[in-house]
Structure 1
């Protein structure tokens, strides 16, 4: 059950969806949806999946909890959680359909589906335990911890995909992910700061947000560089073929 408050109850407070910091966060949520759309489009095109496996499992676990388990006082935010969840199911489908053949570690390839199921279940139990133990309102701190794992693993994901013709990598998705998290980072500093006095400060949240931003910028650089290199390869092949044609 998800208790919700009327607009009159949240107006002017941290849960007011029209507060300036929440508007920034809601724009960030839209960027996240766009990131998912770009990832899904590129992955179907490349017959791949566009997020690191561990990140997909952890992300699915958090979105399931946020959508169906953790109470949310703002219907609009709850709507975004459920949109993310259902869109993420498409990404999970892509991973299950194309992921096994893309694994480079034989042990993971042989036990791929078991690894995915186990990682998702452990993530769900761990995130819920963190939510209960540390009174993580709306699961926001857990969300940023998952986000940091995603941002770090994206770097290694991009490096590994360089040897697979960059399958599943998307420059627009990288930008949207960075902008989406930047927006929600600003929002959550205000929301958490106004509602969770027992934390004694926002140092850990600030660390998470800054780390995510730095890794996201690095990922944008790596993916953009890979995309430019891939775009130059056909030109080089044409130039190499031209002398042979002239000689013939």
Structure 2
């Protein structure tokens, strides 16, 4: 059951990232909120590298795939993200901010490792940044005044991709922290799904 849920999570997040790439280029935007994107990219770079160094597992394969997908999503942010900001934010200032965000995200992930060790750090950081992403997706919808640069497929895939490991590490792993944060993610994700669903054009 745990392997099955791991595969479900891996496939769901892969779908979310793939559609994020598609939507980003289609709408000339970026499909993952930038603070969550920075943390995700740092997490995947660290744990994909560790997967290669320590031996490939099912989760390791997905870590590598997600890391590669995130490279492309980061590119969409660097290509189109400047247009989302006020006019006084110059290209140099935008790139400096992006670099600071990337370095900060990497530092935060390494601090999690230093504090909790590799296994717990991977889980705690993943769920906390996942909750951040859930909230920021709603904020993105509000800030953009609709679903530009977003899709219902991303929202549903993210929800499923988070729910599966919530069961694995929260329920089966007997972790109240992960279970609680995972449930909060589901609440926010379902709200976001509802917003996107209502925004869809109504068929005659």
Question: Corresponding residue for 1:54?
Answer: 35
For structure 1, the 5+ residue unaligned runs are 1-19, 194-200, 236-248
RMSD: 2.3
Deviations 1:193-232 (A, max 9, x none): 3xxxxxxx6221112101111111111111222233xx68
Cα displacement (A) at 1:63: 0.6
CA 106–148 in structure 1, closer or farther in 2 if over 3 Å, else same:
farther
Question: Corresponding residue for 1:174?
Answer: 155
User: Which consecutive aligned stretches of 4+ in structure 1 deviate over 6 angstroms post-superposition?
Assistant: none
Deviations 1:18-72 (A, max 9, x none): xx12211211110110011111111111111111111111111111111114766
Query: Which has the higher mean CA deviation after the structures are superposed, 171-180 or 126-135?
Result: 126-135
For structure 2, the 5+ residue unaligned runs are none
Distance in 1 of aligned mates of 2:154 and 2:50: 28
Distance in 2 of aligned mates of 1:187 and 1:173: 22
Write out aligned runs for 1:154-173 (5 A).
154-162=137-145, 166-173=147-154
Distance in 2 of aligned mates of 1:108 and 1:202: 45
Distance in 2 of aligned mates of 1:108 and 1:204: 41
Q: Select the structure of larger CA radius of gyration.
A: 1
Write out aligned runs for 1:43-122 (5 A).
43-69=24-50, 75-104=57-86, 106-107=88-89, 111-122=93-104
Aligned residue pairs, count: 202
Residue 198 of structure 2 corresponds to residue 225 of structure 1: yes
| Secondary structure in 2 matching 1:169 | coil
CA 211–73 in structure 1, closer or farther in 2 if over 3 Å, else same:
farther
Q: TM-score, normalised by structure 1?
A: 0.74
Deviations 1:112-138 (A, max 9, x none): 111111111111111111122122416
CA 202–79 in structure 1, closer or farther in 2 if over 3 Å, else same:
same
Deviations 1:90-127 (A, max 9, x none): 10000000110112484587621111111111111111
Question: Corresponding residue for 1:127?
Answer: 109
Query: Which has the higher mean CA deviation after the structures are superposed, 79-88 or 132-141?
Result: 132-141
Residue 40 of structure 2 corresponds to residue 25 of structure 1: no
